[in-house]
Amino acid sequence: MPALPHALTNLLDVLRRAGVGERTVRYERDGWIMLRTLYPEEAEQLIAVKARLLADPQVVWLYRRLDEAYDWEPDDGRIEDLAMEILTRIPVSSPGVLETGDRTRSRMLALVSSYGDDGPPSWSALRRRIRARTGRP
């Protein structure tokens, strides 16, 4: 496997230093590897976007919260609160965030939103709530 780019290893290190658990960091890393394999140029743009997001302490707090949510039951009321926090603080799909064609952008968003469907049930419940609020499949 090729080495991860320095910018990506920095992102993962930010999460580790913030106290995000290794299983969540691995999940993040694996998602980036998949995205970089299929969309290398666009992934580099998104890494830069993610770096800007992780400069915000509130976004880092959300990652720690997401890590905690790994062990929650899917019907835990905190999942709804976390979904609202994520939607309030992170641009799910802002125009201009990713400079690519609409077709590529649509495929990438579908890939990213489906990534991890085999993850913990609480994260699946969180994704369902976010999708319901954003109207995305």
Q: Which CA distances in Å does 108 have to 36, 46, 71, 116, 129?
A: 11, 11, 28, 14, 20
Q: Three-class SS of residue 7?
A: helix
Residue 1 lies in a domain: no
Cα three-residue angle 103-106-107, rounded to 5 degrees: 90
Position 92 pLDDT exceeds 90: no
Please indicate whether residue 126 or residue 135 has the higher confidence score (pLDDT).
Answer: 126
Digit-coded pLDDT (tens) for 32-83: 898 888 888 888 888 888 888 889 899 899 999 999 999 999 999 999 999 9
Query: What single-letter DSSP state applies at residue 39?
Result: -
State the angle between helix axes of 121-134 and 57-69 in degrees (0 to 180), rounded to the nearest 10. Answer: 130
| Structural domains in the chain (count) | 1
Q: Backbone dihedral region of 104: left (phi > 0), alpha (psi from -120 to 50 degrees) or beta?
A: alpha
Predicted structure pTM score: 0.77
Domain that holds residue 80: 6-134
Inside any domain, residue 16: yes
